[in-house]
Amino acid sequence: MKFRPFSLNIRGRLVEYGKPVVMGIINYTEDSFFAGSRAGLADIGARAAAMVEQGADMLDLGACSTRPGAAQVDEKTETERLVSGVRAIRGAVGDMIPVSVDTYRSGAARAAIEAGADIVNDISGGDLDPEMFATVASLRVPYIIMHTRGTPETMQTMTDYADVTTEVVADLSRKLGRLEEAGVADVIVDPGFGFAKTLEQNYRMLAELEHFAILDRPVLVGLSRKSMLTRLLGIRTEDALTATAIAGALALERGASVLRVHDPREAAQSIAIINALNA
């Protein structure tokens, strides 16, 4: 399946994407599942600049780990981290690289956007904060809606699907209707690999990723160094770069629009190869 071009309204500037996008992950936390993605405030600017140099088209800043089983930081701490982290990124890479903030809290999202972020990336798809959809609509920013169930503490006990792909597509479709009613114009969908999904369900969704095209939205795929790779192969997170690149290429072949990754260079190389094959 060939990539379908898309555009986003970034602070009144129409940004057009004629090829798949690399989104680089920066985590201003001490407990994200991949230690290599963690950064303190003193490191964030340099990390952001390096990712852009390596091929990142966007940057995604998180300040509260949402890995399965993770304990949650309080909203004040998350907000302070996001605001200071966004400012550090802007100081390092300027205003032309879109920055998303990975948060399910509407208050933290608003503060980060006001500090200079461009996109809200909500792993809960609006389920953990009933004010999120209205907040994103009022901010007039693009929104990444991910599928999950429950909370990071409970999600892996909520994997009872009759047909995982069909049910995830249906859930996202219902929420897209709500977002449209709220006035949110630009939405990216994320199937939520690793979130309330078993190993087998993750691979079923990847095999059937083309089904998400029915939603008529760009599809973000986050597979980078996740347990669906490490558990299958019996390897450490630190050793999962090759597996991540392969899985990303398979996602691109099935219509992924955005690869959210810890390693932008390898993702950009995968995109270049897929583009050459589909030229």
Specify whether 265 is catalytic. Answer: no
CA 214 to the chain's CA centroid: 20
Q: Which residues pair with 13 in a beta bridge?
A: 10
Residue-wise burial string across 23-42, b where 16 or more C-beta atoms lie within 10 A, e elsewhere = bbbbbbbeebbbeebbbeee
SS3 content of the chain, % helix, strand, coil (to 5): 45, 15, 35
Q: How many CB atoms lie within 10 A of CB 167?
A: 15
Of 105, 149, 260, 265, which is the active-site residue? 260
Specify whether 226 is catalytic. Answer: yes
Of 38, 175, 225, 226, which is the active-site residue? 226
Q: Give just the sign of the alpha carbon dihedral 38, 44, 50, 55.
A: positive
Catalytic residues: 226, 260
